[in-house]
Amino acid sequence: MSKYVALRHFLEGKRSERVPMTFAEIEKVLGFKLPNSQRYPAWWSNNATNNVMTNEWLAAGFKTEQVDVSGRKLVFRRTRSLGLAEEGGRFDETQSSETKRPRRHPGFGLMKGLTKVAPGTDLMAPTGEEWERSE
């Protein structure tokens, strides 16, 4: 279980589309200070591989925006309707953060069906003159 799960539960309890928060309010929800990394805008990105806390707000159906590191505040914006799962990002957001499994990359199978192979063709058989001479 993530130590940031309290943030996910807090956001899941919100009914508004936007949840403005200061970093101090986030720390109060969590019950401890944010790491020093919070001083960098990249730490607040919505990249699911960024950090453990990111996965919690994504799992709650929110993304960060209007991040003001120097002012120590941001806005969490809802990314899906209440009760409806949105397919997006790197992880299946309908799963709890404890059981998240990576999904396949959206490009997986992109070329499927674009190439036809004649029936009876052995794709492993050598071809070309060089192969014929080496036999």
Give per-residue pLDDT as tens, 44-73. 999 988 889 999 999 999 999 999 999 999
Number of residues in the chain: 135
pLDDT at 29: 95
pLDDT at 83: 47
DSSP 102: B
Domain ranges across the chain: 5-78
Q: What is the rounded distance in angstroms from the CA atom of residue 14 to the CA atom of residue 3?
A: 20
For 56, phi and psi rounded to 5 degrees? Answer: -70, -45
- C-alpha dist (Å) from residue 85 to 21, 41, 60, 92, 93: 24, 27, 10, 9, 7
Q: How many CA atoms lie within 13 A of 31 on its CB side?
A: 5
> Which parts of the chain sit beneath pLDDT 70?
81-105, 128-135
Burial class (CB in 10 A: 0-12, 13-18, 19+), 113: exposed
* pTM across the whole model: 0.59
